[in-house]
Copies of this chain bind each other. A is one copy, B any other.
Amino acid sequence: MTTSPLLANLIEALRCLPGVGGKSAQRMAFHLLERDRDRGLKLADALREAMQRIGQCQRCRNFSEEALCAICGGASRDRQLLCVVESPVDLAAIEQATGYRGQYFVLHGRLSPLDGLGPEELGLPLLVQRLGEGEVEELIIATNPTVEGEATAHYLAQLARAGGIRPTRLAHGVPLGGELEFVDRGTLAHAFGGRQLL
């Protein structure tokens, strides 16, 4: 298909990116070679640095190249609020969308015994230790509203209650801007049952 082994190798390697198939990979490789070699080299450096140096924050398990991430290491965030998320992407989404000023804890998964994901793998001993320090007053459980996410939320709520901490969960309901007609039954029933006084 291509006459250069290095180019074939690059096209194949680009396919590790999510959403990138053979055609897109080829387009990307040709684009970089023809027009943007400098930025291609910068991308190579950024990839290497990130893959090798980014680990987990010792306190919240979020991605960080330092022992403590900027949120845990800084003094500006409220230590009485702790928000538990399944993954760093969820953390980023909450940071971008809300004005939340508390701290986080990243599970890197959800309880799923069949996949070998138990409390140990999710770092729950670290979470329990953190809850035992006495600073946290509210545990905001922001796992995904899937079956496994809900199961994980129940488990976390028990942990919180055992430590005398108030567990809360993100509100479920009709999405803003959505039309009732197109909301799925489960969500609609939940939103109806959980109606609030105006």
Contact = CB atoms under 8 A, between A and B. Distances in A.
A16 interface: yes
Can you tell how many copies of this chain the complex includes?
2
A141 to B, nearest CB: 21
A51 B37 contact: yes
A101 interface: no
A111 interface: no
Given A17-B31, A92-B26, A51 B62 contact: no
Interface in A41-91: 41-54, 62-65, 69-71, 87-89
Contact residues on A (Cβ < 8 Å of other chain), bracket: 35 or more
B6 A50 contact: yes
Contacts of A41: 47-48, 51-52
A155 to B, nearest CB: 22
A47 B2 contact: no
Given A4-B69, A44-B47, A47-B41, A88 B34 contact: yes
A195 interface: no
A174 B16 CA distance: 37
Interface of A: 1-7, 9-10, 12-14, 16-19, 24, 26-34, 36-37, 39-54, 62-65, 69-71, 87-89, 92, 95-96, 108
